[in-house]
Amino acid sequence: MRDNEAKALELPNTNGLLHRRVFLKGGAAIASIPFLAAGVSAEDRSAPDLVPEWTREPGAGMSPYGDRSHHEADVQRNVVSQPGTVGSGASRTPLQSLEGMITPNSLHFERHHNGVPEIDPKRHQLLIHGMVKRPLTFDLDNLGRYPMVSKMLFIECSGNSAALLAENPVQASVGELHGLVSCANWAGIPLSSLFEEAGVDPAAHWVIAEGADAALMSRSIPLEKIMDDGLLALYQNGERLRPENGYPMRLLLPGWEGNMSVKWLRRLKVVSEPAMTKDETSKYSDVRPDGKSLLFTFPMGVKSVITSPSAGMALRDKGIYQITGLAWSGSGRIQRVEVSADGGATWSEAALDSPVLPKAMTRFRMGWNWSGGPAVLQSRAIDETGAVQPSREAWLAERGRNAVYHYNAIQSWQILQNGDVRNVYV
């Protein structure tokens, strides 16, 4: 695209953001395509720099289970474990290297409390007991006959993005800063059907979920949520769950903090009161500025982050770029994402990729003509309930300095004169 064409598409006073019709026309992205002139000799055709060798030799065979190109081996989760352990900690999704709305299974984030258990699916059972007419067990064979549903859903750890609470901006990639979130197509059995089979006592209000890992990870879940849209997930993006994501079965609570979607699920006890487990009291509770601590802050807030350009990347030259990122909300669909190239002084509406689904990632895009001058890129998501992603300043003012979880404030990426991208607070 020529300079004057790009200029014509710029939205006024936005530091170079381009009108959304850039995408409707598909014009901005089209580069000139080189072609061979007629009359090239056979000799020229064998020159490797002109005609690559892979068109002139048979390729590799089929494979029973595919792998990515070895050229992409550097795209990896960022693994950080607690001192003295290998199985306690997290690995983060490399958001900077991914496109679309789906997180590949190999790159879905992990958070474990004592490693990934090696579970024999033939011996694994799910027990539903407590305040029920009939305590029941289900094995994988039996569960295979139950009616299933599949849904695109994000899972986000409520500790995601906590690095943004640091006094000074941490210089790390978007995956290292915000990669405790992923999105997949999860298929499984609505838990309501298993609970109806067991016959729930009307006086019950909570369900204690427990995993079959070495931490016997345990959380109290409102019965209402289980009956509403709680899923016993068996498949992740079409294949059986990955071991690190709960094989052979996990709880999945759409839109709620990831820790509650207990992996390797083995037991659901129906009770009248929450158990006040370690992971819902000493952890995953939210200290307010007045010193009070909130228990049971379940839904994840509306949030977005620009994944490209993002910290650690460098813009090579001024000119046309596509700003893109992800938006999601634990309360429903993303209604709108706005992008700013001037640190929040002006905002313009981004284009959203289809489909836009409730409690799933939504990919947004915005064209940008970088003048080569200073810029601060931001994105701000609004969900269908009208909730607006807050600024970092507003988030801190409301939640205070002792808060650790549920950070969903606007991320700012500064573009330096030399094109380097940095994490900044504005």
Partner 1 sequence: MSRFALRLSMVLMLSASAAHAQNLSPAAPLSPQLGKVASGELVAAWDMTILPSGDGLPQGSGTTETGARLYLEHCVACHGEGGVGGLNNVLVSDEPRPFGETGGKRTVGNYWPYATTLFDYIRRAMPYSHPQSLDDNEVYALTAYLLYRNGVVPAHFEANASALPKVVMPNQEYFIRAYPDWNP
**Residue 263 in the binding site for partner 1 (CB under 8 A):** no
Given the rule CB under 8 A, which of 49-57, 89-97, 170-178, 194-202 is the region that contacts partner 1? 194-202
Please report the DSSP string for 229-278 in residue order.
H-EEEEEETTEEPPGGGTTT-EEE-TTB-GGGS-SSEEEEEEESS----H
Q: What is the CA radius of gyration of the chain?
A: 24
Which lies closer to partner 1 via its Cβ, residue 117 or residue 367? 117
CA distance linking residue 267 with residue 132, whole number of Å: 13
Question: Binding pattern to partner 1, positions 306-345, x when CB under 8 A?
Answer: ------------------------xx--------------
State which of residues 6, 9, 17, 138 lies at the interface with partner 1 (CB under 8 A).
138
**Residue 204 in the binding site for partner 1 (CB under 8 A):** no
Question: Binding pattern to partner 1, positions 269-298, x when CB under 8 A?
Answer: x-x-xxxxxx--xx--xxx---xxxxxxxx
**Residue 113 in the binding site for partner 1 (CB under 8 A):** yes
Residue 78: its H or E element: strand 78-81
Contact 101, 326 (CB under 8 A): yes
**Residue 408 in the binding site for partner 1 (CB under 8 A):** yes
Reference 179, options 266, 245, 90; nearest CA is 90
- Max alpha carbon distance in the chain (Å)? 85
Bond before 248 cis per omega within 30 degrees? yes
Which lies closer to partner 1 via its Cβ, residue 98 or residue 300? 300
Contact 273, 203 (CB under 8 A): no
CA distance linking residue 212 with residue 119, whole number of Å: 8
Residue count, binding to partner 1 (CB under 8 A): 67
Which lies closer to partner 1 via its Cβ, residue 287 or residue 426? 287
State which of residues 43, 145, 316, 417 lies at the interface with partner 1 (CB under 8 A).
145
Place of tokens 């997949």: 184
- Contact residues toward partner 1 (CB under 8 A) are 82-85, 88, 113-114, 127-130, 134-138, 142-143, 145-147, 193-194, 196-198, 208, 210, 214-216, 218, 222, 224, 266-267, 269, 271, 273-278, 281-282, 285-287, 291-302, 330-331, 387, 402, 406, 408
